[in-house]
Amino acid sequence: DLGIELGFGIDAFIARPWVLSARAGDALVGDAVLPQARIQLGFLFGRFELFAGYEYFFVGSVNLSAPFTGTRLWL
């Protein structure tokens, strides 16, 4: 199926070493609507970030929302 997606994201360095990131978007694939939103708070260690957050995600009527943790490298 073909589809289309529209989204927005921002990374805000709110107070060193904290990073607040947010993403929101919506997609339409065939007849399925895929709304998505994500917010995370990270702590910088040099160029590495450790973060935790929550993602709201639906595929049709199936709820795949969950908390998450991770790392990322800022180049």
Q: What is the pLDDT of residues 5-55, one digit of tens each?
A: 999 999 999 999 999 999 999 999 988 899 999 999 999 999 999 999 999
Binning pLDDT at 50, 70 and 90, where does residue 60 land? confident
pLDDT reported for residue 46: 94
Binning pLDDT at 50, 70 and 90, where does residue 1 land? confident
DSSP labels, the chain: --EEEEEEEEEEEEETTEEEEEEEEEEEETTEEEEEEEEEEEEEETTEEEEEEEEEEEETTEE--EEEEEEEE--
